[in-house]
C-alpha cells in the first residue's frame, strides 16, 4: 500500500519506518529542512533502539522517502497519517495547531480519496475538527472529493517503540466509515497475524483511550510512591509489598515501581490535558490532581534527602547523578526528574557531576555553559569526590557496577537510590550507606534524632 506520514518526529518516524518494513511505500513529510536533510543523508534525529537501522534499510530499499513537499506527500498515499506534535499549552491543554495545519495542507493538495488518520495524541473531538478543516479547504477549491477521518492513537513506549509497533498488544481504531475501517485493517494486518487485536470504536472513545491509559499508568506509579512514603514510616519494604500485590492477577506487576518520579513526553502532558478537558466540562478530576502533586513532590525527593543529610546550603559539596534521561533506552529529557534535581542542587551551591550513556549531548545542548555542572566520560569519573551518588535513571550498565572502584572514587559512600535498583543488604556488604525509596525506616539523620529527642517519647526515654 502507499502511505503518507505527516511529521518526522518520534511517532512519525517509528510509524513510517515500521510500515515501510512490511513492504509498504511510505513518504514522510516534515516542515523542518534540517531534519529532512539529516534523514535523507542517513542520520536519525532521535535515539530509539533499532530505529536508525530500520530507517536506513528501508530508505536503501526505496520504500521510505523524506520530503518537505506537502503536495507530493499528500498525493502519494491513500492513507495519510498525521503524527505531528501536540505540545502542552500554558493552561495544560494540548495544542493541536500542528494537527490542524497538517489537515489544512491535506485539504489543499488532495486529488482523490484519502483516509486521514489522527495518530497524534489529541483531545477528544479533534477528529471532527480535522474533518472540518479538510472540508473547508476543499470548499475553497470548489473541489468535491471523498475522504474519511479516523482516530488511531499510538501506544508506543520510548526505548521499545519498534517492538510495540511490530507486535502491538492492541490497535485502537476510532472509525464510523466502513471503507476506511477496511483499509486500516489491511494496513495493520501484517502486524496482527497471530491474533486480531484491533479494537474498533467511535472516534471520541478512541481519542479518550490514550489519555485514560496514560492517566492510569501515572496513577499507579504515584500510588506506589505514596505507599512508599508510608512504608518508610512503618518500617516496611515497598519492594516486598510490590511483589506481594503484583502477584494478584487483578492488579498485575506493571507500573508498580516506586521511585523519584515519572516524566517524559506522554504521562505529564496527557495527565494535564485530561484534567483540562474535564475542567472544560465542569468536572474536576480530584484523583489526577493528587497524582500530579505526588509526582511533583517525588521528583525532588532525592534533593530533600540530600538537604536532610547535608543542610540547606550545599557549598563545597559535590554530588553525582547516574542517569539523566527520563527513562532508560532514550535520550528524551522532557519532564525528566534529573533536570529538577540538578537545578535544585546547583541553586543550593553544590557542584554536580553527571553521567548518562545516551542523554548527555541533549543536556549539553540544553545547558551549554551551566556553572557547577560537569558531564563526565564514564560513571566512575562522575563519582570522583562525591559526597553522595544519586541514582536517577536505571540504565542496565548501572545494575552491577564495580562497587569497590565506585567506593574508592567517592568521598562518602552514600548512595541515594532513586529507582530502588540495589538491594540494601548487598550495598551495606559493599561498604555503602544505601537509602532507597520506601525500603524500610530511613537512617536516623541528625534532624530526625533531634526531633525524636524533643518528642514526649524521646524525653521519656532519656529520663
Enumerate the active-site residues.
Answer: 266
Of residues 392, 365, 363, the one with CA closest to residue 379: 392
Asked whether 105 and 57 are in contact (CB, 8 A), the reply is no
CB 432 within 8 A of CB 417: no
Q: 93, 79, 197, 246: which is closest to 149 by C-alpha?
A: 79
- Helix (H) / strand (E) element for 216: namely helix 203-234
Alpha helices per DSSP H over 50-152: 51-60, 70-76, 97-109, 126-140
User: Closest by alpha carbon to 322, among 350, 354, 348, 349?
Assistant: 354
Cβ burial, residue 457 (10 Å; 0-12/13-18/19+): exposed
Looking at residue 89, the DSSP 8-state letter turns out to be: P
Place of cell 564495580: 402
Distance of alpha carbon 258 from the chain centroid:
16
Cβ atoms of 98 and 84 within 8 Å: the answer is yes
C-alpha cell at 88: 502542552
CA 441 to chain centre: 31
Q: Is 173 exposed, middle or buried (0-12, 13-18, 19+ CB in 10 A)?
A: buried
Question: Where on the phi/psi map is residue 159: left (φ > 0), alpha (ψ -120 to 50), or beta?
Answer: left
Please give the Cα distance from 434 to 416 (Å, whole number): 6
Q: Which value, in Å, is the radius of gyration of the alpha carbons in the chain?
A: 25
82 beta partners: 6, 118
Is 320 within 8 Å of 381 (Cβ atoms)? no
Exposure of 261 in the CB half-sphere (CA atoms within 13 A): 27
Give the whole-angstrom CA distance, residue 403 versus residue 365. 31
Q: Which residue has the cell 490514550?
A: 210
Q: How far apart are CA 414 and CA 170, in angstroms?
A: 44
Instruction: Write phi, then psi, for 199 (nearest 5 degrees).
Output: -110, 110
Considering only CA atoms, which of 150, 94, 417, 126 is closest in space to residue 265? Answer: 94
Amino acid at each position: 500500500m502507499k502511505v503518507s506520514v505527516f511529521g518526522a518526529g518520534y511517532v512519525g518516524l517509528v510509524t513510517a519506518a515500521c510500515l515501510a518494513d512490511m513492504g509498504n511505500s511510505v513518504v514522510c513529510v516534515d516542515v523542518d529542512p534540517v531534519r529532512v536533510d539529516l534523514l535523507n543523508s542517513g542520520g536519525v534525529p532521535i535515539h530509539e533502539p533499532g530505529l536508525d537501522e530500520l530507517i536506513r534499510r528501508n530508505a536503501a530499499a526505496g520504500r521510505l522517502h523524506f520530503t518537505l513537499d506537502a503536495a507530493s506527500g499528500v498525493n502519494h498515499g491513500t492513507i495519510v497519517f498525521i503524527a505531528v506534535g501536540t505540545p502542552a499549552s500554558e493552561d495544560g491543554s494540548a495544542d493541536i495547531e500542528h494537527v490542524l495545519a497538517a489537515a489544512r495542507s491535506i485539504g489543499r493538495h488532495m486529488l482523490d480519496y484519502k483516509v486521514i488518520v489522527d495518530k497524534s495524541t489529541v483531545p477528544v473531538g479533534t477528529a471532527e475538527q480535522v474533518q472540518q478543516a479538510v472540508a473547508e479547504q476543499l470548499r475553497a477549491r470548489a473541489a468535491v472529493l471523498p475522504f474519511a477521518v479516523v482516530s488511531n492513537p499510538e501506544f508506543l513506549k520510548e526505548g521499545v517503540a519498534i517492538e510495540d509497533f511490530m507486535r502491538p498488544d492492541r490497535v485502537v481504531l476510532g472509525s464510523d466509515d466502513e471503507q476506511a475501517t477496511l483499509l486500516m485493517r489491511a494496513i495493520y494486518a501484517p502486524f496482527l497475524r497471530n491474533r486480531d487485536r484491533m479494537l474498533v470504536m467511535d472516534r471520541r472513545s478512541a481519542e479518550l483511550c490514550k489519555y485514560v491509559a496514560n492517566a492510569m499508568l501515572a496513577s499507579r506509579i504515584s500510588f506506589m510512591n505514596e505507599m512508599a512514603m508510608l512504608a518508610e514510616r512503618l518500617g516496611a519494604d515497598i519492594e516486598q509489598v510490590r511483589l506481594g500485590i503484583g502477584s494478584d492477577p487483578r492488579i498485575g506487576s506493571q507500573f508498580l515501581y516506586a521511585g523519584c518520579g515519572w516524566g517524559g513526553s506522554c504521562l505529564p502532558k496527557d495527565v494535564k490535558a485530561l484534567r483540562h478537558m474535564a475542567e472544560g466540562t465542569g468536572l474536576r478530576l480530584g484523583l489526577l490532581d493528587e497524582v500530579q502533586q505526588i509526582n511533583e513532590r517525588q521528583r525532588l525527593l532525592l534533593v530533600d534527602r540530600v538537604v536532610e543529610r547535608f543542610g540547606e546550603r550545599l557549598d563545597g559539596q559535590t554530588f553525582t547523578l547516574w542517569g539523566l534521561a527520563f527513562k532508560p533506552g532514550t535520550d528524551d529529557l522532557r519532564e525528566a526528574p534529573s533536570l529538577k534535581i540538578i537545578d535544585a542542587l546547583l541553586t543550593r551551591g553544590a557542584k554536580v557531576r553527571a553521567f548518562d550513556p545516551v542523554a548527555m549531548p541533549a543536556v549539553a545542548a540544553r545547558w551549554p555553559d551551566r556553572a557547577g555542572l560537569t558531564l563526565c566520560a564514564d560513571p566512575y569519573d562522575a563519582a570522583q569526590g562525591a559526597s553522595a551518588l544519586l541514582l536517577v535513571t536505571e540504565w542496565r550498565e548501572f545494575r552491577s557496577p564495580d562497587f569497590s572502584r565506585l567506593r574508592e572514587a567517592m568521598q562518602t559512600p552514600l548512595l541515594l537510590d532513586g529507582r530502588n535498583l540495589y538491594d540494601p543488604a548487598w550495598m551495606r556488604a559493599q561498604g555503602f550507606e544505601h537509602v532507597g525509596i520506601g525500603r524500610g525506616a530511613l537512617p536516623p539523620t541528625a534532624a530526625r534524632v533531634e526531633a525524636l529527642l524533643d518528642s514526649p517519647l524521646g524525653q521519656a526515654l532519656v529520663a
